[in-house]
């Protein structure tokens, strides 16, 4: 079965015009002014991995559009008892889900689900693959702060290798001609990452990444993910941590983004996290209108 119309499985195969349509529609969405676009619909949130921002923001978005939401988490459900992904999919479909939002540790899990259920499936993060709603809300945030993507220089710093956020962001930004510089030690920012999309290059030097940059996107450096890699955190901090002195290397009006959760003292200092150029909480806020647009699109109401 082909994925149902309105599914959002990744950014890579989404056309630039469709991305703009979602971003424009998101501008019209306001969670403080609830709408009825999804009135009576059931949105199933199927989370096989921990999540704070993504889950709560999909939930608020769905409710702001008049939908009911049901949260199924890996712990405390049949998933924990060993039920397969597809059997869970069939079950949630049978109880009357109109949209399935899924986060899963395996790349491709949302695709598998979408091939077997006849309702739109939204990928809320799959393994090391994609995180399309995060890329869209990041794009939304960039456009609220910068005129356009054209000619924009974006530095992505941190654990790129383990980041589905970075992958989706590269696909999205490259479709609009932005210059993307990936920066980190070789284990976290391998050379091959430059082949992700056009306009992407890799550097080991933070000065090189920051010079002339409009947007600095920091990524989580999660210590549990580093097992087996030769990463010395003290050295990471010395070479890559975003601090006020480094921030000055970028353009004066550069903004600092981070998908969260942030680790103060590792990826960035508190001065930067709480400083005037940070847009980290704004990103969280922008997740709601963006996901309202994604959900409205899922059922063909993005008009």
What does the binding site for ligand NCD look like in residue numbers (CB under 6 A)?
Answer: 53-54, 125, 131, 134, 163-165, 220, 259-260
Residue nearest to ligand NCD as judged by C-beta position: 220
CB of 47 to ligand NCD, least distance (A): 11
* Contact yes or no for 295/43 (Cβ under 8 A): yes
Residue 182 near residue 161, CB atoms below 8 Å = no
Q: How far is the CB of 303 from ligand NCD (least distance, A)?
A: 28
**Min separation Cβ 1 and ligand NCD, Å:** 27
- Give 159 or 214: the residue with its C-beta nearer to ligand NCD: 159
Q: DSSP secondary structure string, 235-260?
A: HHHHHH-B-HHHHTTS-TT-EEE--S
* 10 vs 125 by CB, closer to ligand NCD: 125
Output 165 or 200, the one with its CB closest to ligand NCD.
Answer: 165
Judged on CB neighbours under 10 Å (0-12, 13-18, 19+), 60 is middle
Helix/strand/coil for 135:
helix
What is the smallest separation between the CB atom of 132 and ligand NCD, expressed in angstroms?
Answer: 11
| The two structure tokens encoding residue 228 | 């087996």
Nearer to ligand NCD, 151 or 261 (CB): 261
For the bound state, the minimum distance from the C-beta of residue 225 to ligand NCD, rounded and expressed in Å, comes to 8
Which is closer to ligand NCD, CB of 117 or CB of 155? 155
**Which residues make Cβ contacts (< 8 Å) with residue 65, sequence separation at least 6?**
34, 35, 36, 37, 38, 39, 292, 295, 296
Q: Which is nearer to ligand NCD, 85 or 128 (CB)?
A: 128
Q: What is the DSSP letter of 242?
A: B
End-to-end Cα, the chain, rounded Å: 26
Minimum CB–partner distance for residue 220 and ligand NCD (Å): 4
Q: What does the block give as tokens for 187?
A: 């284990």
Least Å from the CB of residue 36 to ligand NCD: 28
8: DSSP letter: B
53 or 116: CB nearest ligand NCD: 53
Task: Say which residue the tokens 């959760």 belong to.
Answer: 261
Q: Which residues pair with 43 in a beta bridge?
A: 69, 99
């Amino acid at each position: 079965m082909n994925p149902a119309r309105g599914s959002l499985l990744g950014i890579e195969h989404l056309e630039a015009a469709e991305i703009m349509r979602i971003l424009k529609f998101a501008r019209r969405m306001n969670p403080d002014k609830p709408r009825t676009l999804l009135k009576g619909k059931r949105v199933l949130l199927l989370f096989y991995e921990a999540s704070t921002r993504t889950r709560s923001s999909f939930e608020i978005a769905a409710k702001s559009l008049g939908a009911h939401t049901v949260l199924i988490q890996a712990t405390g459900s049949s998933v924990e008892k060993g039920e397969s992904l597809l059997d869970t999919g069939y079950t949630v479909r049978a109880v009357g889900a109109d949209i399935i939002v899924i986060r899963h540790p395996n790349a491709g899990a949302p695709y598998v689900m979408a091939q077997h259920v006849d309702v739109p499936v939204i990928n809320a993060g799959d393994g090391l693959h994609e995180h399309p709603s995060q890329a869209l809300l990041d794009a939304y945030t960039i456009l609220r702060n910068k005129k356009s993507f054209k000619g924009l220089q974006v530095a992505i710093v941190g654990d790129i290798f383990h980041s589905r956020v970075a992958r989706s962001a590269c696909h999205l930004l490259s479709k609009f001609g932005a210059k993307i510089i990936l920066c980190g030690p070789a284990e976290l920012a391998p050379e091959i990452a430059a082949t992700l999309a056009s306009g992407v290059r890799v550097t080991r030097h933070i000065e090189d990444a920051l010079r002339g940059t409009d947007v600095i996107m920091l990524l989580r450096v999660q210590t549990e993910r580093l097992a087996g890699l030769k990463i010395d955190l003290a050295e990471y901090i010395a070479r890559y941590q975003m601090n006020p002195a480094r921030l000055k290397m970028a353009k004066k009006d550069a903004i600092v983004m981070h998908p969260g959760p942030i680790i103060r003292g590792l990826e960035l200092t508190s001065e930067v996290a709480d400083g005037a150029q940070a847009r980290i909480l704004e990103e969280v806020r922008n997740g709601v209108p963006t996901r309202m647009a994604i959900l409205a699109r899922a059922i063909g109401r993005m008009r």
